[in-house]
Structure 1
């Protein structure tokens, strides 16, 4: 089992939701955590303060993962501060809310934005981090997919397709970066994050239809992320955490 204590971790989109929960979980296990954000500066700062209040090490660092030069600068800055980069959680993602059957509303801008951030962004972060992980001959990466990429339905058609691409990217990167770097993917179902604000009725209705009768919490996904990072016999896997939603 990989010991997370004293490892250096980068969590993209670490200011809110699953990203914040993953940052806190990694810090609780003794990792130094770089909390990436693009627009959520205040939230990333709060995540860092929470970690530091618990005696952990953290820093907030801005980069738009869809821009490769910003990603490279971010990774270099993390390594400059802490001397290494051992763990990467590719969490940063965006979506558009478009009814699945409304093909006419799916414009080129939606396709470009979602694929650029959700797929290319994860590739850029992995490529930049892998340079240092290869030198160390050790590293572990977890990508955040979605059951939308498995079931084909979600907040929009381009979102579901982008997450299916993340699952494919995970498998390809696992082969490309073996044996030194492990790459896996968590595919959450509905998770109780700020995405559900204003949709509480819809969330409660969904929860009642799940096998486990409740929607997952960000902390549930964060614990799975840490378990995958620790598991040294695991690579190229898509692990679903969805309270039975996709059954």
Structure 2
């Protein structure tokens, strides 16, 4: 980790996995931009915890679907705080739908999920790349999903959008090498608010887990930091799913 304070941006940084990653980075000495779209209260709670622990953070209301808003946010963080080393594309949405019911899928669902889960990640990478190139050891981490590997998840549009994000990871790894490493972490089921009220569906989707446990956001954050630091890895999709797909 850096000797002097450097900066990380975490989209969807106020809740769940994003919150855990924001806290973990702050504990490693990074100034953290906690990006949120609708979860202002959660983002502010994350910010307060970081500051109470002696860390540096700011929250930014930014819709990753809005390219110009993303560019303005990244520019402000980079200019105010200095070296940008890490971008974590965690912002994502889903729709809980009966998986086999194709008739339940509307066009607007495809557009909504792709705009956030795929184009949003690209917007952030596009805006951050010029700043990341200036920082040795820079990396982008996309938070994908095991649904993007298996094709099975909370809905077909969600699983497909995550598969596209995995593909985007490989493309960006080629486009941004050698200065910027780009990897993807594909969690299985994680104990977050996404599954509140849908616990039975979560257990059905995960099937038999060899480790007989559901991941916590902190588990995923620990693995995320490992990938951000992995100097010999780029273009990789790392599964963190408790043996679900073995």
TM-score normalized with structure 1 length:
0.95
Q: Give the corresponding residue for 2:210.
A: 211
CA separation of 1:224/1:5 partners in 2, compared to 1, >3 Å: closer, same or farther?
A: farther
SS in 1 for 2:133: helix
Q: Is the 8 A contact 1:36 1:60 kept in 2?
A: yes
SS of aligned partner of 2:58: strand
Residue 10 of structure 2 aligns with which residue?
A: 11
SS of the residue 1:86 aligns to: strand
Bigger mean CA offset, 24-33 vs 192-201:
192-201
* CA deviation map 1:9-51 (0-9, x unaligned): 0000001000000000101111110000000011000001000
Residue 30 of structure 2 corresponds to residue 31 of structure 1: yes
Task: Give the C-alpha shift of residue 206 in structure 1.
Answer: 6.9
Contact 1:114–1:162 (CA under 8 A) maintained in structure 2: yes
Of residues 182-191 and 83-92 in structure 1, the stretch that sits farther from structure 2 once superposed is: 83-92
1:88-103 counterparts in 2 under 5 A? 88-103=87-102
Report the CA distance shift for 1:108/1:169 in structure 2 as closer, same or farther (over 3 A): same
Residue 184 of structure 2 is matched in structure 1 by 185
Asked if the contact 2:34–2:47 (Cα under 8 Å) also holds between the matched residues in 1, the reply is yes
Task: List alignment gaps of at least 5 residues for structure 1.
Answer: none
Per-residue deviation at 1:4?
8.0
Unaligned segments of structure 2, at least 5 residues: none
| 8 A Cα contact 2:148 2:164, kept in partner | yes
For normalisation by structure 2, the TM-score amounts to: 0.95
After TM superposition, give the deviation of residue 198 of structure 1 in Å: 2.2
Structure 1 58/159 Cα, relative in aligned 2: closer, same or farther at 3 Å? same
Output the CA distance in 1 between the equivalents of 2:242 and 2:200: 18
Q: Distance in 1 between matches of 2:55 and 2:216?
A: 22
| Aligned positions of 1:57-76 closer than 5 A | 57-76=56-75
Return the alpha-carbon distance in structure 2 between the equivalents of residues 148 and 216 of structure 1.
15
CA distance in 2, matches of 1:223, 1:58: 19
Once the 2 structures are TM-superposed, how far is the Cα of residue 208 of structure 1 from its aligned partner? 8.0
Instruction: Give deviations 1:136-177, integer Å, cap 9, x for gaps.
Output: 455101001101011101010010000000100000000000
Match of 1:20 in 2: 19
Cα distance in 1, alignment partners of residues 229 and 3 from structure 2: 7
Does the CA-based 8 Å contact 2:143-2:185 persist in structure 1?
yes
* Larger CA deviation: 174-183 vs 3-12: 3-12
The CA deviation at 1:203 is 5.0
Q: How many residues align?
A: 246
Distance 2:2 2:236 in 1: 20
1:110, distance to aligned residue in structure 2 (A): 0.4
* Cα distance change, pair 98–175 in 1 and its aligned pair in 2 (3 A): same
